[in-house]
Amino acid sequence: MNKNHALFTQAQQYIPGGVNSPVRAFHGVGGEPIFIKAAKGPYMYDVNDKAYIDYVGSWGPMIAGHSHDRVLQAVHAAVDQGLSFGTPAEAEITLAEKVCRMIPSVDLVRMVNSGTEATMSAIRLARGFTGRDKIIKFEGCYHGHADSFLVKAGSGVVTLGIPGSPGVPKATADLTLTVPFNNLDAVKQVMAEHGDDVAAIIIEPIAGNMNMIEPLPGYLQGLREICDQQGSVLIFDEVMTGFRVARGGAQELYGITPDLTTFGKIIGGGLPVGAFGGRREIMEYIAPQGPVYQAGTLSGNPLAMAAGSAMMDIISEPGFYDYLSAQAKKLTDGLQQVADNAGVPFATRQQGGMFGLFFADKAANNFDELETCDLGHFKRFFHGMLDHGVYLAPSAYEAGFISSQHNDIIIETTLEAAREAIKA
Ligand SMILES: Cc1ncc(COP(=O)(O)O)c(C=O)c1O
Ligand SMILES: N[C@H](C=O)CCC(=O)O
């Protein structure tokens, strides 16, 4: 670990906490973060040349495995044409058209540089469109780090045990109303009091920032109906689930049409991209067509558009999601078997290439239920897996991701590591 330790020590001299995003710091599991120097297919390689089977996939984008040849070729070709133009370019249309075709609820789409930019812009648009200020979000959902979302948020916010964040003006936080996930009555109650002021309900249709929590039957439909009744905009934050749980995202999986959708991660093929899109009538409120301002110096960057476009082609191959889903199921079923054999309370969830692991008798349906999971077991399991060359998300609150490069041998190697980790 010497080289890794030296790098972490050095990193902390120049970078807050030694990391550029908090969950990476291993505070959720203890120990020092692993410094990675390269990644290919299902593997990442650390600075000490140790290989890890990767179930984080750069937090989602690497659905086709790391350094996929077609993505690399597309980026190399784009590099030769120039790094950034700050003008419209054909590559932007190419990706936008693919997204609109894959996600029928999206008539128009605006490219940005991160998931946070996408969600932040989507709520501004919803506010501008409705002329209302309040939003409803769900406990344990994470929509990036914009001020309005750092209220009872998941991901690093909950991993670090921060209820909200200093620096967010109270006046802003007060406009974010929070309710428990999977509880329609709670939404109705809040709407009964604040409905006329609620611009939008924003939700991760499958929550992936408090482990993995699926909507109960009828829940998303209920939110759709409430928004229709109240004239509020329904925003599906599919930064994580988009192109991950199905080609058309969670909205395709559950057959619910949101007004706006936010994207990130896979849409950029591993480069920094986000996007928000939806109903034409709402999207036309965005500048320059409409009055709601939103902009970006590097938005629609040609390298990012090329990577995203190549990724959209890869995931559009016939059978891509059948295989991805089958491999993810083999993994979760296998892990369940390992835990059962060892007599360890354990449960899993899986949709497409996304999964959740719970050290509890059953998988949670909301944030409060999640708190009953055994965090100590998770930490020990995480480190056992790491020792045996398997990289899981370093927090019990994060979903796991599999790629199309995780073949049967990779899954079996992972299960062997799990047997050892659980035994230990
Ligand atoms: C559901 C969801 N929304 C928004 C974001 C923010 O995206 P980014 O980290 O690219 O800003 C994330 C991830 O961080 C996410 O998982
Ligand atoms: N849970 C986050 C996004 O999905 C993890 C990425 C990060 O914040 O660094």
Give the domain ranges of the chain: 1-64, 69-315, 318-389
Give the tens place of pLDDT for each residue, 50-93: 999 999 999 999 999 999 999 999 999 999 999 999 999 999 99
* Amino acid letter, residue 193: E
Each residue's pLDDT tens digit, 325-377: 999 999 999 999 999 999 999 999 999 999 999 999 999 999 999 989 999 99
Name 353's Cβ contacts closer than 8 Å, sequence gap at least 6.
63, 244, 245, 321, 324, 325, 327, 328, 401, 402, 403, 404
Q: pLDDT digits over 175-216, tens only? A: 999 999 999 999 999 999 999 999 999 999 999 999 999 999
The whole-number pLDDT of residue 386 equals 98
144 lines ligand 2 (CB under 6 A): no
Task: Map tokens 């003006």 to a residue.
Answer: 169
Sign of CA pseudo-dihedral 16, 22, 28, 29? negative
- Where does 69-315 sit in CATH, by number? 3.40.640.10
CATH of domain 1-64: 3.90.1150.10
- Tell me if the domain spanning 318-389 has CATH number 1.10.10.10: no
- pLDDT one-digit tens code per residue, 249-306: 999 999 999 999 999 999 999 999 999 999 999 999 999 999 999 999 999 999 999 9
For residue 265, indicate whether it is catalytic: yes
Does the pTM of the predicted model rise above 0.90? yes
3 is catalytic: no
Nearest CA to ligand 2 atom 4: 59
**Region of 353 on the Ramachandran plot (φ > 0 left; ψ -120 to 50 alpha; else beta):** alpha
Task: Give the DSSP H/E element, type plus range, for residue 357.
Answer: strand 354-358
Q: What is the pLDDT of residues 373-403, one digit of tens each?
A: 999 999 999 999 999 999 999 999 999 999 9
Report the pLDDT value the prediction gives residue 163, as an integer from 0 to 100: 67
The atom of ligand 1 lying closest to the CA of 119 is 4
> Among this protein's residues, is 142 annotated catalytic?
yes
What number does the ligand 1 atom closest to the CA of 60 have? 16
Question: ipTM of this model?
Answer: 0.99
Closest-lying ligand 1 atom to the alpha carbon of residue 114: 10
Domains 1-64 and 69-315 share a fold: no
Question: Which of these, 121, 326, 130, 151, lies nearest to 239 by C-alpha position?
Answer: 121
Q: Is 150 in the pocket of ligand 2 (CB under 6 A)?
A: no
